[in-house]
Amino acid sequence: RKEVEQDPGPFNVPEGATVAFNCTYSNSASQSFFWYRQDCRKEPKLLMSVYSSGNEDGRFTAQLNRASQYISLLIRDSKLSDSATYLCVVYGGSQGNLIFGKGTKLSVKP
């Protein structure tokens, strides 16, 4: 089983839609979790950290389920500018560094 797995998509949604991404991780000892955003041909940037209690930042909500070892990202009221690849990132992999998922591509259409 890969350390961090994501559905690659693409998710094609209309503006205003709500879309959710899930990510699973294999190491139950993982300690920290993040969502990064990567625009086409650009560098990844931190979108939000994921806390055990769940957290919200505007239209974005992140959830962590330790028992099932998955992380989710919910985007409400999608904007054209949300089009990007979303990377699930876990700290606590076998080398003690951040482990990146391959990303889920989101395309928001007018």
Interface segment toward other proteins; rule CB under 8 A; list 10-18, 21-29, 66-74, 85-93: 85-93
**Minimum separation from the CB atom of position 21 to other proteins (A):** 14
- Residue 70 touches other proteins, criterion: CB under 8 A: no
Gap between the Cα atoms of 57 and 74, Å rounded: 10
Phi-psi region of 41 (alpha: psi -120 to 50; beta: other; left: phi over 0): left
Touching other proteins, residues 4-23 (CB under 8 A): none
Nearest to 6 by CA among 20, 18, 21, 19: 21
- Closest approach of other proteins to the CB of residue 72, in Å: 19
Task: Render 23-36 in DSSP notation, one character per residue.
Answer: EEES-TT--EEEEE
Which residues bind to other proteins, rule: CB under 8 A?
31-32, 34, 41-46, 49, 87, 91-92, 95-98, 100-103
